Amino acid sequence: MAVYPLMPKATASWLVDNTTLTFDQIAEFCGLHPLEVQALADGEVNAGIMGTNPIMNGELSAEEIARCEKAGNTKLKMLKSDLPKPRARAKGPRYTPVTKRAEKPNAIVYLLKRYPELADVQVAKLIGSTKPTVDSIRNKTHPQWNTLKPTDPLSIGLCTAEELEKAVRRAQRRVQREAKAAGKPIPTFGEPVDAIPAPPAAPAPSEAPEETDTHKTPGLDDLDDLGADDEDDARANG
């Protein structure tokens, strides 16, 4: 992915005025067309633009400029910055389809019953609701309280298992810290998200119980056993 100066045209204007770099070199470094650079040099566009020094901004070094000035076919290389890249911020609350919005109160009931250690703010963030709504459901003052039914938010896609587990772990640590600070017994918690039970392992072939087939054809050994049984019966009755 190509990286260009923060202010391409201002940087190009400075390079035009303070170096002997070609228009092609400046255009490629700044992500512009050579004709745009030429127009900047001639004052046909952006007249009076204040140039930005890429050396002061940490985008170029004087040695790199001097190297490329000696050979017009070389490319300027942007300096690597040690500054952290800005994080992309969420633009707003998560969008919930209209068909699922009515399920939000039911999902809140489920979370409050299943994970009472969750704070109202955490529940509201997971479900995409508000803190007053969560508080009214927790206190049973919600207008629809009598008709609400607990619904797992994972099953209807209101949050992910990863998000829920992270929130529950954080809430559990908070509860444990508060108990420790108050000198109370530190509570323990199980798994925050119900795991799907694994299917039972099939027995190994050698451990499988031997089946008895009552309809199989008797072998020689079986016939000998039957004859011995008949002789025993005859002696007992004789």
Provide the b/e sequence for 131-170 (b: ≥16 CB within 10 Å).
Answer: eebbebbeeeebeeeeebeebebbebebbeeeebeebbee
| pLDDT, greater one: 33 or 96 | 33
pLDDT at position 101:
82
> In Å, how far from its chain's centre is CA 207?
43
- Enumerate residues 6+ apart whose C-beta is below 8 A from 93: 128
pLDDT at position 149:
93
Query: Which percentage of the chain shows pLDDT scores above 90?
Result: 41
The vertex-104 CA angle with 114 and 195, nearest 5°, equals: 35
**pLDDT (tens digit, 9 = 90+) per residue, 22-33?**
999 999 999 999
Query: Which percentage of the chain shows pLDDT scores above 70?
Result: 70
pLDDT of 205 > 70? The answer is: no
pLDDT of 38 > 80? The answer is: yes
171 and 117 Cβ atoms separated by less than 8 Å: yes
Measured from the Cβ of residue 67, the count of other Cβ atoms closer than 10 Å reads 13
In angstroms, the CA 49 to CA 43 distance is 9
pTM of whole model > 0.85?
no
**In the chain, where the domains are located:** 8-70, 98-181
**How large is the average pLDDT for residues 69-81?**
85
pLDDT at position 15:
94
pLDDT at position 84:
57
pLDDT at position 189:
75
Confidence of residue 11 (pLDDT cuts 50, 70, 90): very high
pLDDT of 83 > 70? The answer is: no
**pLDDT (tens digit, 9 = 90+) per residue, 109-160?**
999 999 999 999 999 999 999 999 999 999 999 999 999 999 999 888 888 9
**How large is the average pLDDT for residues 190-208?**
49
